[in-house]
Structure 1
Amino acid sequence: MATSATALISPRPYQQQSNDQFNALKYLSTGAAFHEATGHGISKETPDQCVIDQAHLLMRHGERYPTASSGKKMQELLEKLKSSTTETVYNPLGFVHDYEFFVSNSSDYGKETYYGPYSGLADAFFFGSELRQRYNHLVDADHTLPVFTAGEKRVYDTAKAFSQGFFGNGYSGDFQLISIPEKEEQGANSLHNKDGCPNFDNDDNVDSALEDENLQYAQYEADRLNKLGGSGYNITVDDIFIMGDYCAYENNVREMVW
């Protein structure tokens, strides 16, 4: 009886194929919806011989709307493209003529997204529920757990949603949100944004280094779109960066089809 070649090969304990194919979320700037980093085959589960006796979580906020200043730039870019785009077969941005800006209510600027597949508040809630299951043995239900949060509303709302997930669904215990104002005089702390570090925020060398790394690909993309769109286009390097943010935040607000 013939024996297949595969039958002579010992079972492989580690898969060789890559399941981490193209994922648009990895190319949508820092405003993109949460996505895990590429793994290295290390299990998330606690090894049988180990016991977790302490856990710390550090996060700022989840998926959100753009700020008002960023949103203004995005809307201005959309209007620019609408007024200059020609409808041709090969025009990759010809669809903008009938495209509506994704922020319909200006009061939503800066807030966590609260509906859709990439809802920041929903993600925070379910994350809290997931961690409660994982670390339930660490919770002292007889004492109120302090949850520290920055004063920014979207950060506070994220902390609240997370805590509701952590203590909801019949779990015992309670929490208290402790808000720390985000002011320069507060100094740097683990909850602050970059304003807590004036040297970084005002360091021209940092901006120059980032520009050197990014301008080459952005200029190539601007030239490509201008060529495809015809003479009506005037897309700049700055526009390319705004496009990346636009896609990220629109995806947070309403699901995009790629």
Structure 2
Amino acid sequence: MATSGKLGLLQQLRAWLFALVFLPATIVLVLLVMSSGVFPVGKNTSPLPQLPVEIMDGVTFAPVQTLHGWAQFSPFYPVRRYRVPPKGCSITQVNILKRHGARFPTLHSGERIKSAVDKLKSAKSYIREDLQFLKDYTYDLGFDDLVALGALQSYTAGQLAFTRYSHLLSGDATLPPFVRSTSSSRVIDSAHNWTSGFSFASQHRFNPVLSVIMSKDSANNTLAHSGCPLAGDGDEKSDAWVNIYATPIAKRFNSLALDMNSNLTAADVVDLISLCPFDSVAKQEPSQFCNIFEPEDFTNFEWGMNLDKYYGTGYGQPVGGRVEGVGYVNELIARLTNTPVRDNTQTNRTLDSDPATFPLDRSIFADFSHDNQMVAIYSALGLLNEKHEVLDETRVNPETEWDTSEVVSFSAEMVVERLSCAWDPPVAGYKPTEYVRIMINDALQPMSFCGADENGLCKLSKFVESQSYARNDGDGDFEKCFLTQT
């Protein structure tokens, strides 16, 4: 853990320098105009300056139906339109769990992608016209860090958070949002970009800082996939599907790219398909690699990624999986109920017992994490499981709830709102009741497990009661993380 108030200015300067070097000129101009403060943002003014539409509603370089095939490498798009609370209800607290913005491939993935590209480039000739660009193509993507679009995603999300929840901040004594992050640089940078956007939208009246950075290598980290040493993965299931769908694609390319040094494999196909979204978000234009695949190739690609998440840190993983999200759920319960954290899994007891590093007196909380950990948290909560679906590694289910592009896209977010609801108009003697509702990428979650109504509202007491898996420390699943079966 590290407190980071002193780092705030340095990180903001770093973000602006990054923007000036890497962002397209039009977006830099928008940011510079915004930073001048000429767009008043707040409760009684226009909600937002006009931002690049691709940040607010999805990207202009790919329609939503295309993004559905990009899995967790899709940039954020709102799955549904945000629904304001019903009459008589007011939001009293919000908890935002957010994935980092769009990034380059990881180092290991980038090496695999380049290897697959080099195979294609080694061909003496190409039969199809859409492959001719490979003759002059050079793989030039970085690795691990945010791309320009990813930096702007988080900055804009901070503005949207202020606009949507500014009513929770009233009076000079109001405390700003409390912000935490795991220690990967792209996650830290996303958190800083979010706080900068929030500050700008408030005309710098509220200046949140990244207050807690939890080590990504620590077992006591509720924002990283690191608390279960014996955790399994989803490779067996996803690999089985890859062999089914990607082997014919590899054969197709091996017949179209003549005299390659070595033939493409099914695994190479997966890496080449992933280059479509990675190259597109890096350059903010459609990648030529998107054109060489058929629409059904992307559908099958995403199903493979769905399997990887479901059987990696989701419901399908018996060792690790959803139990890795238990610590965060218990922290969430503590915030919603204004009570100390009760947990014996991944929480850091030193941090969570200190009001300076785990306060309960804020109305806005924002945590920054990774896709794998967010999947574990969704599963620990009981989300995305209304149909009790078990994902099949032999065929695509087009009606699945488990759609990675919709729930763990780049800059994805889960928002948990606590609300106070009374009759409208007020009824004498009726006391307001506290409720909870949850949205993922603005899509209201049905939450039948706690009796949610048509507005997605669960009574807070029923919601807490429904979280027995987390409150019981995973019902024995956490111990499996450390005990080798004999």
Q: TM-score range by the shorter chain?
A: 0.7 to 0.9
Question: What's 1:25 paired with?
Answer: 67
Report the Cα offset of residue 91 of structure 1: 5.2
Is the aligned partner of 1:35 residue 2:77?
yes
Question: What's 1:139 paired with?
Answer: 169
Structure 2: segments with no counterpart, 5+ residues: 1-62, 292-486
Question: What's 2:156 paired with?
Answer: 126
Structure 1: segments with no counterpart, 5+ residues: 1-20
2:191 to 154, 159, 175: 159
- Equivalent runs, 1:187-206 vs 2, <5 Å: 187-189=220-222, 191-192=223-224, 194-200=225-231, 203=232, 206=234
Give the % identical residues: 24
Is the aligned partner of 1:219 residue 2:247?
yes
Is the aligned partner of 1:93 residue 2:131?
yes
Report the Cα offset of residue 171 of structure 1: 4.4
C-alpha distance in 2 between matches for 1:55 and 1:164? 19
Mapped contact 1:29–1:248 kept (Cα < 8 A): no
Mapped contact 1:102–1:250 kept (Cα < 8 A): no
What TM-score, normalized to structure 2?
Answer: 0.42
2:230 counterpart letter in structure 1 = N
Secondary structure (helix, strand or coil) at the match of 2:105 reads coil
Report the Cα offset of residue 229 of structure 1: 3.0
C-alpha distance in 2 between matches for 1:210 and 1:225? 21
2:96 to 42, 53, 57: 57
Change in 2 beyond 3 A, CA 1:69/1:172: same
C-alpha distance in 2 between matches for 1:219 and 1:160? 42
Mapped contact 2:178–2:208 kept (Cα < 8 A): yes
Secondary structure (helix, strand or coil) at the match of 1:149 reads strand
CA deviation digits over 1:8-47, x for unaligned, max 9? xxxxxxxxxxxxx76222212322322333x4xx752333
Report the Cα offset of residue 157 of structure 1: 0.3
2:237 counterpart letter in structure 1 = A
Q: After alignment, is 226-235 or 76-85 more displaced?
A: 226-235
Report the Cα offset of residue 147 of structure 1: 0.5
C-alpha distance in 1 between matches for 2:193 and 2:274? 25
Question: What's 1:77 paired with?
Answer: 116
2:182 counterpart letter in structure 1 = A
Structure having the higher strand fraction is 2
C-alpha distance in 2 between matches for 1:109 and 1:197? 26
What TM-score, normalized to structure 1?
Answer: 0.76
Secondary structure (helix, strand or coil) at the match of 1:241 reads helix
Report the Cα offset of residue 250 of structure 1: 0.9
Question: What's 2:280 paired with?
Answer: 251
Report the Cα offset of residue 62 of structure 1: 0.9
1:67 counterpart letter in structure 2 = T
C-alpha distance in 1 between matches for 2:96 and 2:247? 39
C-alpha distance in 1 between matches for 2:82 and 2:118? 47
C-alpha distance in 1 between matches for 2:193 and 2:129? 43
Secondary structure (helix, strand or coil) at the match of 1:52 reads strand
Is the aligned partner of 1:241 residue 2:270?
yes
Change in 2 beyond 3 A, CA 1:187/1:111: same
Report the Cα offset of residue 51 of structure 1: 1.3
Mapped contact 1:91–1:229 kept (Cα < 8 A): no
Change in 2 beyond 3 A, CA 1:187/1:181: same
Q: In the comparison of the two structures, how many residue pairs are matched?
A: 220
